[in-house]
Amino acid sequence: MTASGAERHVPVLLEEAVAALAPQAGGVYLDATFGAGGYTRALLAHADTRVLALDRDPTAIRNGYALVEAAGGRLTLVEARFSELAQVAERMGLAPLDGVVADIGVSSMQFDEAARGFSFRNDGPLDMRMEGRGVSAADIIAEAEEEALADILYHYGEERASRRIARAIVKAREQGRIETTRALAQIIERAAPGKPGDIHPATKSFQALRIAVNDELGELVAALAGAERVLKPGGRLAVVTFHSLEDRIVKQFLAERSGRGETRSRLLPGEPVPPPRTFTNEGRQPVTPSQREIATNPRARSAKLRFATRSEAPARAIDETLARLARLPERVKGRR
């Protein structure tokens, strides 16, 4: 880990997430989103713990080599998506696990690197690929039909002006491929100018494109299922999210898996018995950052932590209602 990388990224809800995991001496934990290593360092600070850390960003992996060496064999760092956490843990012979933690979203380091194209604050290539391969944001902007582009902006960015912005993008690309973050931000700003004091008009559209490029919501659903599969009974899951789309998925997953709202003792005749609960929830949730943390780290202001404890019940397949939250809705002809 380079010092500069650690300084640029401040882990959000670090103390609260680690407290939710309740690390035990000798426990084995998985940091599904290594980033700058903040959660991993906190877990390694507990005696005799072992950590398996994942990141799909090759730069994060390279920057983490120094921490691997400093950990003296207690840290294994793997380049992998967090949707693959169960397969990696099993392949490494580290499952079942005592805890899994994930900080969903883009790190400050990625936002600060103009060449990655995640932010419009500094001009750079319109990329947004966490792994540096596959379809880029520029490809989507260049190739998506207007209706499909509007759907991406509306459903992944919750952008109310999605159709107007999509129309403006399609018109602008007739003059040539839109290749830079600044060029796209300017098109959006002209199509849907913001009011003084509001967030930049391009903020939601950039979020939407990033989610689409990296399949972030599909990755999250798969990661939750993977954590359920590899956590031992009594193992803890802690997930920090940064916007409502992610939080909705985590909230629904834990509610469904913990049987929240079920009345098992009052089933109607013929009503099927609900499946065994795979998680139990404790405490008031979600946990949100203190005003003090927000003051020192503005990125924390939208963060939410949800956590749960694994039961002895066998893991289950992902429910279609949850999987649907990660996908664009099917288009009905003539309607959105």
Where is average pLDDT lowest: 7-16, 19-28, 36-45, 216-225?
A: 7-16
Pull the structure tokens for residue 80: 């992998």
- Band of residue 93 on the pLDDT scale cut at 50, 70, 90: very high
- Amino acid sitting at position 68: V
DSSP string, 248-266: HHHHHHHHHHTTTT--GGG
Q: What CA–CA distance (Å, rounded) separates 35 from 68?
A: 13
Q: What CA–CA distance (Å, rounded) separates 4 from 7?
A: 5
pLDDT at 197: 83
Q: For the residues 30-38, what does the mean pLDDT come to?
A: 95
Q: What CA–CA distance (Å, rounded) separates 100 from 30?
A: 5
Where is average pLDDT lowest: 66-75, 99-108, 154-163, 244-253?
A: 99-108
Contact 208, 237 (CB under 8 A): no
Angle in degrees, 0-180, between the axes of helices 244-257 and 216-230, rounded to the nearest 10: 30
pLDDT at 195: 87
Contact 66, 2 (CB under 8 A): yes
Strand arrangement, sheet containing 97-103: 75-79, 50-55, 28-31, 97-103, 231-241, 304-310, 279-280
More confident position, 250 or 265: 250
pLDDT at 108: 56
Q: What CA–CA distance (Å, rounded) separates 117 from 143?
A: 18
Q: Is the pLDDT of residue 298 over 90?
A: no
Which residue, 220, 225, 216, is CA-closest to 110? 216
Q: What is the pLDDT of residues 257-273, one digit of tens each?
A: 998 755 555 666 766 77
pLDDT at 3: 39
Q: Is the pLDDT of residue 113 over 90?
A: no
Strand partners of residue 50:
28
pLDDT at 95: 97
pLDDT at 4: 41
Q: Which residues of 327-336 are buried (b: 16+ CB within 10 A; e: fewer)?
A: eeeeeeeeee
Which residue, 191, 200, 112, 109, is CA-closest to 149? 191
pTM: 0.90
Q: Where are the alpha helices (DSSP H) in the chain?
A: 3-8, 14-21, 38-44, 58-63, 65-70, 85-91, 108-112, 137-143, 146-157, 162-173, 181-191, 203-214, 216-230, 244-257, 291-296, 320-325
Q: Quote the mean pLDDT of the chain.
A: 90
